[in-house]
Structure 1
Amino acid sequence: MSHADPTSPGFPTPPMHELPNAREAVRALRSSQIREVANAGFGVPDVLPFWFGESDRVTPPFIREAAAEALGRGDTFYTHNLGIAPLREVLARYVSGLHGATAADNVAVTSAGVNALMLAAQLVTGAGDRAVAVTPLWPNLVEIPKILGATVETVPLVYGERGWALDLERLLATLTPGTKLLMINSPNNPTGWVMTRDEQRAVLDHCRRHGIWIVADEVYERLYYADDYAGEDDATGRTAPSFLDLASRDERLICVNSFSKAWLMTGWRLGWMVAPRALMDDLGKLVEYNTSCTPSFVQQAGIAAVEHGEPFTRALVADLRASRDHLAAALARLPGVDVKVPHGAMYLFFRLPGAQNSLELCKALVRDAGLGLAPGSAFGPEGEGFVRWCYACDPARLDAGVERLAGYLAARAGR
C-alpha cells in the first residue's frame, strides 16, 4: 500500500480556510509588544534592558535554600490542588495581618499570579459575558476574558498634572447591570496608579448592588510608597489599599497576588488568591485541569518567603522608592520628557518625544541606543504616547540608561 508524500509537488494544498489554525478568539488576541521589543534586542550588544517587570537581583538566599532543602528531602511529588496546608495557613496569617481575618479555606495556591488570574476568570465568566477593565493595563488582564469568549470594555485612567487618576463616575456608569466581571489592577502596571480607599468602597458598593464579580490584581500591593506610615506593627503604609480591607471573604471578590514582586521570585511561578469558600471545590477542579498542582519544593520556598521575608520586603521597598525618585529626577531634566512620580509598583510611565508610535520608538532605542524600554501601546491604546521603564535595579544602571536616552534624544533633535 502506497502513501502520498505530503512534500511532493503533487500533494494537494488545502484551501486557506481549511488550514489548521487556532480558534478565532485565540487568533484575535494581541501579542506582547514588550516581547516584540525584547526580541529586537537579541544580538544587539550591551543592551540595557528595562522592559520586563522584574528586578535585576536574584531571589534572596533564605528562599533559595528552603527550596534546595526541600529538593534534598525528595519533595518532588504531587500535592493538593489548592496548595499544601502549611503554605495556605502561612498565607492566611499573612493576609490577616495586612487586611483582617482570613481563613486558610479562603486561600488557594497557584502556579504564578497570572495563573491565578486565568483561574479566577474561568471560575466566574465565560462565552457571551461582559467584562470591564481599567486601562492602561498589563495586557493579560484584558485578554484573559477574551480567551473565554467574553467581551471586554475598557475604562481609561485620566492623565493630568498629578499623574494618573480614575474617572470614577465613568467606571460606575460602565459597570451596568448584566456586567459579569470587573478586572482591576492597583497598584497599577504600567502607570503606578493606586486606587484610593474611597474609590474602592464606591466600586465595591456598586458591584454588590448589581451582582458583579471583582477580580483584583494586587500583586504590587507591597510596592507602595505611602508617606504616612502608622507604625512598625500596623499594616497601614506597609500595603496599598485593598478590596480585602472592605469586603467579607465570601463576597463576589477574588484577590490575586504573587510571590514575584515582594520577594523577587519571578521565575518561581508561585502565586495565590483569596476567594469565597464556596468557590474552592470548583477551583480545585480547574487547577486539576490546568496544572494539577504547584510544585511542592516551590511551595516550601514560599513558606520561607512569608515567614522570614518581612525585613527583606521592607528593605526592598525602601530601595525601590529611592530608585524611583532617582530616576524620576534624572528623566525630568531631559528636554521634552513629562514624568510624574507614582505611588506604587516599580515603573515610571512617562511621555517621551517621538512616543506617538511607541512601539517603533522603543525598537529604535534598542537599535540605536542600546536601551530597552516597554512601549506604552503594549498596555492598550490609552498608553500610546508613553513608555514604561522598570526601575527595580541599581541606580548606576539607571544612570547609564538615562545617559543613553539623553544621547538618543539629542541626536534626534539635531537631525
Structure 2
Amino acid sequence: MKDHTIRRGVDYRVYESEPTTFYAKYTEYGNGCDWLIRVTKMQKKYCWEIRRYNGSHTCTRSTISQDHSKLDSKTVAEAIKPLVEVDPSIKVKSIIAEVQSKFNYTIRDDLVPDIRVPHRVFWSYYPCIRAFRHCKSVVQVDGTHLYGKYKGCLLVVVSQDGNNNIVPIAFAIVEGETSDAWYFFLSNLRQHVVTCDGVGLISDRHDSIRSAIERSNGAWSPPRAFHMFCIRHIESNFLRKFKAPYLQKLIVNIEYLRTIREYQMRYERLKERGEAYTTWLDRIPREQYALAFDGGYRWGHMITNLVECINSVLKGARNLPVTALVKATFYRLNELFTRKRVEAEARINAGLVFSEMVTTKLHANQRASGNIQVSCFDRENEVFEVREMPSGVEYAVDLRHHRCDCGEFQVDRIPCRHVFACCANQRLDWQVYVNDVYKMDQV
C-alpha cells in the first residue's frame, strides 16, 4: 500500500487496521475523489483478499503535495537496507538517488533549522555509576579513533571489581585527543561518576591529559586523586630516547618493584650504566611510575591494558554512526552485567565470602606464613617486626595503617604472608584486613 501510493503521488487515511482487516480511504475522499480499499485476511488460505477497491483516482496532480506522509524513516530504511548491507559506507547521494528511483520523491539530508548539533558527547549508565561504588578506587582512561563517516575519538574509562572483572563506567565522543576534549571528559567523569576521593587515575603521558588535569582545579590532583602513568608508555618513551633495548627489562623491573630497598638497588644499577638514563627518569615523579612510591593508589595496576581491552571489544562499532555506537555500548554492557551478576550470585549461594581471585591468593599467603617468626611487637600501636626463615630478612608490619615493608599489603589491600604471621601470633582475625571490595556481596 505504501509503495503503491507513494509512487502514484497520492495519500490515504487508515480507518481500520486490525489483525484480519484493513480499510483505508483517500485523504480527500468525497471531495472529487472516491478512492478506497478494504482488505480481509483469509484464515484458511493464509492470504489477504481485496474485498472492495475503488482504484480510479479522480484527483488532479495539482493538488498533490511534493512531500508524502507515508515516506517515513522506516519506509526509507527498508528501501535502502540491501544497499547498506552491501556497503555500510555508502554515500548519502547514492541513498537519495535510490529513493528517487524507487518512489519518485527526492529526500534531503539538510539540517532542520534550529536543531543544535553536539560538538562533544559524554555518557554513562546508572548501573555503571552504581557499580563503580563497589569497585577498586582506580580508573584507567584511553582514547581510540573512530573510522566511520563521523571522525573523532572515542574516550573510555574503566575500573575493576574485586574479582578482576573489567567494568566500563563512562564514554565520550570528542573531536580528538586535545586538552579541551580531555578536560570535557574528565570534568564530566568527576562530576557524574567518579565522585569519591582518594582515587587513582592511570593514563598514558599524553600532554593533553596532563594539561586537562592541571586545569581541573584540584579535582584530579592529590589528595582527591592521584594521577599515574602507564609504564608501557614510559618504557616506549625511554627506548625511543636512548635506543637501548638491552635496558628495557631493567627499566620495567624498576617500575614493578614493591619495596623502596629493591627500587634503590635497581636504580643504582641503571645509574651505573649511565647517569643520562637516571637523569631522564628523574624528570618523572617517582609516585607516578614506581609501585614502591605510589602509596597503594594503583592497586597494582601498572598498564592501561584494561581500557585497551574495551577498545578492542568496540572495534567493530567504531565505524558506526554516533547513535548506533551509543546503543552498542548499552547492549553489550547490559549483557555483561547480567552474565557477571549470575556468576557472582552462584558463588554467594555456595556460601563463599571472598572472590575467587583473592581467595586463591589468601590461601597462598597463609601457607607461606608458616616460616615467619614474630620477633617483637607493639600491641598498642599494632606494629610488629617479623623475620623470614631461614633467610633472616626482617620486615616491619603496621596493621593499623595497613602497611608492610614487603609492599604487598598496601598494593593488593589483602593480608600478605607477614600479616598472617602477626595475626596468628596475636590470635587476631585476619579477615578484617581484607578490603571490602573483594567480598562477594560487593562483587
TM-score scaled to structure 2, two decimals? 0.20
Determine which structure has the larger strand proportion and give its number: 2
Which one has a bigger Cα radius of gyration?
Answer: 2
TM-score scaled to structure 1, two decimals? 0.21
